[in-house]
């Protein structure tokens, strides 16, 4: 698949995310891997639900250098970290949903454990509702470099698959291409909604 068709699929995914209300008030950011060296990342501060091809900026994956001098996402470092850590990652989607924001605050542990849901099978490599799928939660930080270092250190001793939550902030997830990243996003958001409802009902 060509980079341009991936970019068109990313633009479609951004419009879908916007229509779902998952990137309110300019929140969220999205990218694709262009090749071994570069990714294309959404411009900072834009409404992510109405992006066009021209709103994606080339960023060097190794150095975060931006050849154009334009301003990509404030969270560029998280996207480039994912492309460095996971050579098969082809697209990254970051959203701000109510469920990911609230669940990541009420869950005090270092991961949200998804277990018992058939929809876990929307995540690549998951084949049974009986398995436990941990979604790591990292404390949010306005210093993205510090956050990147913490996540990088975590990956040295623990697996990180599909995505992670930033506490009180949102979800960052990825896939081998835009299609898979979008399926992971939709699957995880469905599972977060289930988990919210389950916790609310069981608290009564």
Ligand X SMILES: CSCCC(=O)C(=O)COP(=O)(O)O
Binding residues for Zn(2+): 94, 96
The burial class, CB within 10 Å (0-12 / 13-18 / 19+), for 117 is middle
126 lines the binding site for ligand X (CB under 6 A): no
CB of 171 to ligand X, least distance (A): 11
Which tokens go with 57?
Answer: 């900026």
26 lines the binding site for ligand X (CB under 6 A): yes
143 lines the binding site for ligand X (CB under 6 A): no
50 lines the binding site for ligand X (CB under 6 A): no
CB of 45 to ligand X, least distance (A): 5
97 lines the binding site for ligand X (CB under 6 A): no
Distance CA 147, CA 145 (A): 5
153 lines the binding site for ligand X (CB under 6 A): no
73 lines the binding site for ligand X (CB under 6 A): yes
- Tell which one of 6, 29, 97, 172 touches ligand X (CB under 6 A): 29
Contact 84, 62 (CB under 8 A): yes
* Region of residue 69 (phi > 0: left; psi between -120 and 50: alpha; otherwise: beta): left
- How far is the first Cα of the chain from the last one, in angstroms, to the nearest whole number? 50
Q: Give residues in contact with ligand X (CB under 6 A).
A: 25-29, 42, 44-45, 73-75, 94
């Amino acid at each position: 698949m060509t980079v341009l068709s991936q970019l068109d699929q990313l633009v479609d995914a951004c419009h879908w995310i916007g229509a779902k209300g998952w990137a309110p008030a300019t929140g969220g950011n999205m990218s694709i891997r262009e090749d071994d060296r570069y990714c294309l990342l959404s411009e900072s501060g834009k409404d992510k639900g109405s992006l066009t091809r021209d709103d994606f900026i080339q960023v060097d994956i190794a150095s975060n250098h931006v050849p154009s001098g334009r301003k990509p996402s404030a969270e560029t470092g998280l996207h480039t970290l994912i492309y460095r850590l996971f050579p098969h990652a082809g697209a990254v989607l970051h959203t701000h949903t109510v469920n990911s924001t609230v669940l990541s605050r009420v869950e005090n542990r270092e991961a949200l454990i998804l277990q018992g849901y058939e929809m876990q099978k929307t995540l690549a490599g998951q084949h049974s509702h009986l398995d436990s799928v941990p979604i790591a939660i990292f404390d949010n930080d306005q210093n993205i470099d510090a956050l990147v270092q913490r996540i990088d250190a975590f990956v040295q001793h623990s697996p990180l698959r599909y995505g992670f939550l930033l506490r009180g902030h949102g979800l960052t997830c990825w896939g081998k291409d835009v299609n898979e990243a979008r399926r992971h996003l939709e699957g995880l958001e469905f599972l977060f909604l289930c988990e919210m409802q389950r916790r609310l009902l069981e608290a009564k």
